[in-house]
Structure 1
Amino acid sequence: MKTMTPYSLIPLNPVAMMDVWKLGIMTLELWSTSLSTITMRHGLWQTQSPTSARMLKENQRMVTEKLEAGLETGFELQKAMLQLAFGQGSPWWHTGRRAMAPYHRRSSANSRRLSRRR
């Protein structure tokens, strides 16, 4: 039976430190693209009729994407918990990147899409 090697809370090798750096960059990108997406959607809500086809489609898309990203993140966290239960855990920086990836991907795409639409 394979024994699990415990991971430290602090990365101890350069590869792990780079993974932590990538997680920090992903967090910063997620924060900035989320802020710009919120700002652009807020501008749309102020300038468009709430019952227009464009706004209804945008609002529906927003809710659907949030639900899908939440489900994907939930599955990633569930997978991480099952791996821990079977002694195959991964460090927090790997789990963090996998858990944030669905939100990061959608937020970046929304920011690009809404910034082109003028």
Structure 2
Amino acid sequence: MKSAIQPALMPMSPVAMLDVWKVGIMAIELWTSSFSTITQRNQLWQTQPFFSPRMMKENQRMVTEKLEASMEAGFAMQKAFLNMLGGQHAPWWVTSRQAMQPYHRRSSANSKRLAR
């Protein structure tokens, strides 16, 4: 019988520690860009009529991007789960980075776009 190798809960190699560091940096960047985007959208909602074409487009874009990011993150977690069932274990810092990536990418782009 084949013995299963358990993935490490704590990073033991310098490469794994660097990956954990990258996850932390990504989480901080996601938090700050999300905060910035929320603030900028609130300012738009307070200064422009909600029925204007620009605001309607922005609101539709916001909802669509959130749904797309949620589906991408869900697919990443589903892929990690199916790989785990197949015996291919990935450490938590790899799967968390894959799950945060869609949110991080969209939040950073929105923050830059709305800042203009």
TM bin (shorter chain): over 0.9
Write the distance in 1 (CA, Å) between the matches of 2:93 and 2:113. Answer: 29
1:19 alignment counterpart: 19
Aligned-pair identity in percent equals 64
1:86 alignment counterpart: 86
Change in Cα spacing, 1:2 to 1:33, as seen in structure 2 (3 Å) is farther
Partner SS, residue 9 of structure 1: coil
Q: Which runs of 5+ in 1 are unaligned?
A: none
2:97 alignment counterpart: 97
Q: Would you identify which runs of 4 or more consecutive aligned residues in structure 1 move more than 2 Å?
A: 1-5
Per the normalisation by structure 2, the TM-score is: 0.96
Write the distance in 1 (CA, Å) between the matches of 2:8 and 2:97. Answer: 17
Deviation (angstroms), 1:2: 7.6
Contact 1:37–1:111 at 8 Å: present in 2 too? yes
Partner SS, residue 37 of structure 1: helix
Q: Which runs of 5+ in 2 are unaligned?
A: none
Contact 1:30–1:103 at 8 Å: present in 2 too? yes
Letter in structure 2 aligned against 1:103: Y
Deviation (angstroms), 1:89: 1.3
Per the normalisation by structure 1, the TM-score is: 0.95
Write the distance in 2 (CA, Å) between the matches of 1:102 and 1:3. Answer: 35
Contact 1:77–1:99 at 8 Å: present in 2 too? yes
Number of equivalences: 116
Deviation (angstroms), 1:3: 5.8
